[in-house]
Amino acid sequence: GGVRLRIGFIWKVLHDVARAVSGLHASRLLHRDLKPDNVIVTASGDCKLVDMGLAASVGRIAAGKKGGFVGTPKYAAPEILEGGEPSELADLY
């Protein structure tokens, strides 16, 4: 019943977000601020990754990295908080 429905919904959210992030990374883009607030569920039940304001291509981030940390510290990978270079792995953290 209800528990099975919730688990199915959670699985769909994870699947949809993973596909969106995979698409970004395949295009050599990083979101750089993945967090629950940046995932919305539409009225039809589809999950969308939003707020691409900090997204950037991998090469451009490394070249213009001066300017400090961007994103939400609570959801940032430890290496990013320590000043490391943004990467696909840091996006997945």
| Residues designated as active site | 33
Interior angle at CA 48, CA 43 and CA 51, nearest 5: 120
Write down the H helix ranges in the chain: 2-26, 58-63, 78-81, 88-92
Contact 41/2 with Cβ under 8 angstroms?
A: no
34: number of Cβ within 10 Å: 25
